[in-house]
Structure 1
Amino acid sequence: MSLILKIVAVAAIFLGEAISIIAELIASRRFGKAGGDVTMLLPMFLLISFGGILLVFGYALGYMHLKNIGSLSQYRWELSGGGADTLSSPL
């Protein structure tokens, strides 16, 4: 059971980070095209808030089961770095 909770913690951190980044990208693109329409920022704010909740949940769950927040940060940076390399390599 402990292994499953560790996987859930890392997945929550990864999904929270991904949702926040995607919402920021969508908001910046739409805000630039719409000429500054503020009403479209509310859904993006809600997405970023949900991503933040997932991040806090993942870190709290991981800290309870790993007893070390440094290893969680290392997983997060490895996953984010791998994703960034994959996305930026075609560019």
Structure 2
Amino acid sequence: MFAALSKLRPVQDIDKVLTKAWSVRFLILATVLDAAQTGVSFFSGSELVRPGTLAALNMVLALAALGARLIAQEAVSGPAPSTTPGDA
């Protein structure tokens, strides 16, 4: 397992990924939502929103981040290469 971790390398255009990738935006929103859920219940002593609602929203954002990570985003990756017949 540790051998696989040593092979991990950051992407070359990490600044572009961090500022333009929708997956990063969705993960930031999920983190903020999770922190808000914890903070509100901790500081107020009560729950303004049911925990299930916030957990469901957090799950939706995490799944959206996964989906966004799998979809090509021209702002991050650049335009997709043309795939015309006979380009092999």
TM category, shorter: 0.3 to 0.5
Whichever of the two has the greater Rg, that structure is 2
Hey, which of these two has a bigger chunk of helix by percent? 1
* TM-score (norm. length: structure 2): 0.48
